[in-house]
């Protein structure tokens, strides 16, 4: 009978990964309890054992890219814990209004200083646009400008920014385009800093659930927030946007997307990084918006997230000596695993990044796609 190490070795061989090999993506095992833990707990055990220091890899992003491309998780996910996790996703509504502020408290409120050190000067926590960019700052400015151009932003226009973060889009749109922006976030820490950064501009930052927004706007944008809505609330979200968007306005949805229609997220990500999150599929977005909007444009630049995440990790790693007074070594390994495993998922095309432009009635004469 094969022992757990032999089983894991055979699985890794499917992805051309060796135990204690000399290639950058090979796994170096420090604790042999790893094998049983991975077979028993799947991706959750794999991520937690990395946090515990049971294994390392020279290039974690390259390792994860190979694991995901080979779909090794399919071989270890049919265990009772995973099946219970799936059942819970059907019974509970992770994106309910009652739980709306949980993601803010557990992820975005862990310290503005961490994000200030990791992100670009504008503190944009979504994928940059690297088409003509040479560094993180120019990639993020290019993305913000791309959004403004795609919605045809004009001076004096009113914009609702759902999931406004630290006010990066609101500040840019107000300064460069003369827009009036209302930004909503479920993070108190984000809102506090966003108000400070946007001081003196026609920008109103609110700690508010998207379902509570009232008024009407020339445009609605949402950059990296739809991943927290939950599949049970996609239609509610689209109806809310339709309610507040003027008939001739445009809605730009910027979201990470998945290749299949799923109702759960990775257990490790759910537990440690983004509780209650899940990635929408093309089918789920289309179904949620059907009858409410006309699809004008669908732009995929998911490979740009690989570059963005590597840049974030470089910044985080560079500033770790300053940050470690507030966080311990296990947090460092958790955050490294989060950033680099995410980069690997985009590199193997397991995840996508979509910018979708929708209109309530269809653009007269046709929408001009902008790249």
Please write the tens of the pLDDT for every residue from 91-136.
555 555 665 556 556 677 788 999 999 999 999 999 999 999 999 9
Count of residues making up the chain: 371
Stretch 240-262: mean pLDDT: 97
Give pLDDT, residue 100. 56
pLDDT of residue 337 exceeding 60, the answer is yes
Residue 259 pLDDT more than 60? Answer: yes
Q: Which residue has the tokens 């557990």?
A: 106
Domains and CATH numbers, the chain: 4-78 (no CATH), 97-359 (3.40.50.150)
pLDDT band at 86 (very low <50, low <70, confident <90, very high): very low
Q: Is the pLDDT of residue 358 over 60?
A: yes
In the predicted model, is pLDDT for residue 87 greater than 70? no
In degrees, to the nearest 5, what angle opens at C-alpha 96 toward C-alphas 234 and 216?
60
154 pLDDT band (50/70/90 cuts)?
Answer: very high
Residue 103 is predicted with a pLDDT of 52
**Local confidence band at 74 (pLDDT 50, 70, 90 cut-offs):** confident
For residue 109, what pLDDT is reported? 74
Q: Using CA atoms, how far apart are residues 189 and 338, in angstroms rounded to an integer?
A: 21
Q: What is residue 101's predicted lDDT score, i.e. its pLDDT? A: 55
pLDDT of residue 111: 81
Tell whether the model's pLDDT for residue 38 goes beyond 80: yes
Is the alpha carbon torsion for 334, 259, 9, 35 positive or negative?
positive
Q: What is the pTM of this model?
A: 0.91
Q: Over 70: is that where the pLDDT of 78 sits? A: no
pLDDT, one tens digit per residue, over 178-230 is 999 999 999 999 999 999 999 999 999 999 999 999 999 999 999 999 999 99
Alpha helices in the chain (DSSP H): 4-13, 34-51, 60-69, 80-91, 102-103, 112-118, 136-150, 168-177, 188-197, 234-244, 267-272, 282-289, 303-318, 320-323, 329-347
């Amino acid at each position: 009978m094969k022992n757990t190490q032999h089983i894991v070795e055979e699985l890794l061989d499917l992805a051309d990964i060796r135990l204690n090999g000399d290639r950058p993506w090979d796994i170096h095992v420090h604790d042999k309890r790893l094998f049983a833990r991975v077979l028993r707990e799947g991706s959750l055990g794999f991520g937690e054992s990395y946090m515990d220091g049971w294994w390392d890899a020279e290039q974690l992003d390259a390792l994860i890219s190979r694991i995901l491309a080979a779909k090794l998780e399919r071989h270890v996910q049919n265990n009772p814990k995973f099946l219970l996790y799936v059942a819970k996703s059907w019974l509970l509504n992770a994106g309910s209004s009652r739980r709306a502020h949980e993601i803010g408290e557990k992820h975005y409120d862990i310290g503005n200083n961490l994000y200030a050190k990791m992100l670009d000067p504008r503190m944009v926590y979504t994928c940059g646009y690297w088409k003509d960019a040479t560094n993180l700052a120019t990639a993020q400015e290019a993305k913000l400008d791309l959004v403004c151009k795609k919605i045809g932003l004009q001076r004096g226009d009113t914009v609702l920014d759902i999931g406004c973060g630290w006010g990066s889009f609101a500040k840019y749109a107000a300064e460069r385009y003369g827009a009036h922006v209302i930004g909503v976030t479920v993070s108190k820490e984000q809102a506090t800093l966003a108000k400070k950064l946007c001081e003196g501009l026609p920008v109103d930052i609110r700690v508010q659930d998207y379902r509570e927004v009232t008024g009407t706007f020339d445009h609605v944008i949402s950059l990296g927030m739809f991943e927290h809505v939950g599949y049970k609330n996609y239609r509610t979200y689209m109806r809310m946007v339709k309610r507040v968007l003027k008939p001739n306005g445009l809605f730009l949805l910027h979201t990470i997307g998945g290749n299949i229609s799923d109702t759960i997220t990775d257990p490790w990500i759910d537990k440690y990084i983004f509780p209650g999150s899940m990635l929408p599929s093309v089918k789920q977005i289309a179904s949620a918006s059907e009858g409410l909007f006309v699809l004008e444009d669908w732009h995929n630049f998911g490979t740009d997230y690989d570059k963005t995440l590597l840049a974030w990790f470089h910044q985080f790693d560079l500033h770790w000596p300053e940050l470690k007074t507030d966080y311990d070594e296990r947090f460092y390994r958790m955050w490294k695993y989060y950033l680099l495993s995410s980069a690997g998922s985009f590199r193997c095309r397991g995840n996508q990044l979509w910018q979708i432009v929708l209109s309530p009635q269809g653009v007269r004469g046709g929408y001009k796609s902008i790249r």
